[in-house]
Amino acid sequence: MGIARHVVCAVSGGVDSSVAALLLKRRGFKVTGVFMKNWDSLDEQGVCTTDKDCEDAYKVCKTLDIPFHQVSYVKEYWHEVFSYLLKEYEKGRTPNPDILCNKHIKFNHFHRYAINTLGADAIATGHYARTSQEDEDVFQQAPAAPPTTLFRNRFESRNDVKLLQGADLLKDQTFFLSQISQDALRKTLFPLAGLTKDFVKKMAAEAGLHHVLQRKESMGICFIEPKPGNFVSIEDETVKGKHKGWFTMTLGQRARIGGQKDAWFVVDKDVSTGDVFVAPRTNHPALFRDTLRTDRFHWLTVDPPPELARTQMMNCHFRFMHRMPLVPCTVTLNLDGSVWISLSQTVRALTPGQFAVLYRGDECLGSGKIIQLGPSEYTVQRGRERLTAAAQQNQKPTTEPTG
């Protein structure tokens, strides 16, 4: 290999990033570990959990005998991720902080810090994902200027790197990487690409990294001023109870309504009134839809696939939650870069604010934020019932007046 390539690996103190750094070292790279502090948080005892994570990451680097750095992105996380979450919640949407953190923090600020400040030839993370390029190709990639127009000139030469699913489909994390830039993807290694989670845990144990195996999963963050309102039945518009704040409720979740014998589920929210509409069954037709629209879609290869650009329509697969089964769909490209997605079957609890992530084969094509939903099965059923009733009314014979 000649001079050792310098790879800066994000280390969180968890098992995945620890084994990623271990594999890089074993392959002969010059490895530097960097812990990112994105949040100031305290546990139940008032101890800063981020400090404990940082200590775990430091132990990993010391065990592997690699340099350790800590960098703070608390300010950037607040302005580019958390403030966005608050605005989305206020609009009645349910955002995805993990996708946004990867886009803005790990594969933007951290990526530039590693390359420009630490002089890295590439970065690495512990994500379960692959790319279409060989590792050695990563070090040959020159930074590409972002397009100045909506899509690139069709005569421009391209050498796009594709994001592909990892070998462990149960742990595949391409969903969370669906908003990162092509420029970052070109310079990223995913050492866990061909491994399963069980094998990664085994490697950590054999390498003496026992402390990372006991680490708890990270917790979510939520503190927003409560805005109370009513639970309202979607069927007859009667008030079923009161809630303390609709902002944390997402479509499809069970609504905790006191005094109700049966379970009720959130099917819609009215931001203007604070009402949360509920239905009496987990499989109520008001929860199922088969069409949605995104904002401007983020294609990981910058441009939409040639077939979609040429015909404005394309068949592929869809998911909006990490582990949901992929659903066949038809995508329609709009002039503003947004897309309509028509699903082959109705899906439960499609949620505005979440990301619609598209796949073709094992390639993750990218994602777009869901901003509009098509009618629910319940709305369609009621519409048909009204049409049938109107038709029957028109077919009734009229009696001739007697004179």
Residues taking part in catalysis: 101, 222
Q: In sequence order, which residues have a C-beta less than 8 Å from that of residue 136 and are 6 or more positions away?
A: none
The alpha-helical segments, DSSP class H, found in 147-196 are 182-186
- Name the packing angle between helices 197-206 and 15-26 (round to 10°): 70
Nearest of 58, 57, 51, 47 to residue 74 by alpha carbon: 51
Q: Which amino acid is at 153?
A: N
C-alpha pair distances (Å), 303 with each of 152, 309, 333, 362, 365 = 7, 8, 12, 18, 10
- Which pairs from 37-41 meet CB under 8 Å and 24+ separation? 37/70, 37/71, 37/72, 37/73, 37/74, 38/73, 38/74, 38/76, 38/77, 38/81, 38/101, 38/105, 39/74, 39/77, 39/221, 40/74, 41/219, 41/221
Specify the 3-state DSSP secondary structure of 183. Answer: helix
Total Cβ atoms within 10 A of residue 322? 15
> What is 306-338 written as a DSSP string?
HHHHHHSEEEEEEESSTTSPPEEEEEEE-TTSE
* Angle subtended at Cα 118 by Cα 99 and Cα 66, rounded to the nearest 5 degrees: 90
Q: What gap in Å lies between CA 122 and CA 27, rounded to an integer? A: 14
Contact in structure between 336 and 372 (CB atoms under 8 Å): no
